[in-house]
Amino acid sequence: MSRPTIAQLLTGTLTVVAAAAVLLAVSGSRGVFEIAVLVAFAVALGTLATALLVTVSAQRRAAGSHRPQARPTTTPEYATQR
């Protein structure tokens, strides 16, 4: 598996922060254990988001490398004189 880019890491971090904020706001948890469980779930969600982004970009790179190259024409159409 390739290393994540800065954009992928930032997407994962944003997912963690947003998920933690939303889960804490919606649940109304006040106990330390409950908050720790919600934050752990948010971290797992951010890790999953980053892993999926890395996998998708690796698949795109692999698919792009197998495309057949277009043959260049000998004389471009715009270069012909009439």
Q: What is the pLDDT of residue 24?
A: 92
Let me know if 46 is exposed, middle or buried by CB neighbors in 10 A (0-12, 13-18, 19+).
Answer: buried
Distance CA(38)–CA(29), nearest Å, equals 9
Number of CB atoms found within 10 A of residue 64's CB: 8
DSSP code for 70: P
Q: What pLDDT band is residue 39 in, cutting at 50, 70 and 90?
A: very high
Q: What pLDDT band is residue 1 in, cutting at 50, 70 and 90?
A: low
Q: What is the pLDDT of residue 7?
A: 85
> What are the residue boundaries of the structural domains of the chain, listed by start?
6-64
Give tens-digit pLDDT for 50-76: 888 888 777 777 766 555 556 655 666
3-state secondary structure of 62: helix
